[in-house]
Chain A
């Protein structure tokens, strides 16, 4: 399967714990995006990378959130000191610079108890 993959698919954590999610984009795609989707809403942009450079961050991305893409391939999204309001589906997408379509992964569903 050469699509976007995300790991884990589901994560349940207690409030105050740290969590980390991984995204593996389509191999030749140099842009990688993170979105957050809460129940009944459309995805909201969090941040995006072009190769290893983080080019834009949403104001939704508080200082408890950090994202990396160290070698321009996979990316990680870490949430520190999780809060119940962080419960959501975290979606990753990738694209080529020259093509605007973004291809989405299956998402990581986070539940903070």
Chain B
């Protein structure tokens, strides 16, 4: 079974600065997806970014980018030009391709963006 580990329970960053959230995972599969989800306080979870394992190019979505190291089974999220609205819990998640489409989540990193 796959596992997802987020080793940073809490992080803080000043507005306009850059922060990197770490995620490692363990799987014996070669075809899968990785995601970062954001859960703002008292609000629903939304997708931030996704990465297909077969793609070598790191995914980018505006201020959000990932560093995907398949051999090291590492998938970190970089947030550039942090904004107050980025304050949230961030979850890394793993999903096999094919029919087994459940998400396996890490325990999350609480990010606080300060003035």
Contacts and interface: CB of A to CB of B under 8 A. Distances in A.
Given A104-B45, A106-B44, A42 B101 contact: no
Interface in A47-65: 48, 55-56, 58
Contacts, number: 53
Q: How large is the interface on B (under 10, 10 to 19, 20 to 34, 35 or more residues)?
A: 20 to 34
Interface of B: 4, 33, 35, 37, 43-47, 50, 91, 93, 95, 97, 99-108
A44 B4 CA distance: 12
Interface of A: 3-4, 31, 33, 35, 40-45, 48, 55-56, 58, 91, 93, 95, 100-107
A4 B37 CA distance: 16
**Which of B43, B50, B100, B103 has most A Cβ within 10 Å?**
B103
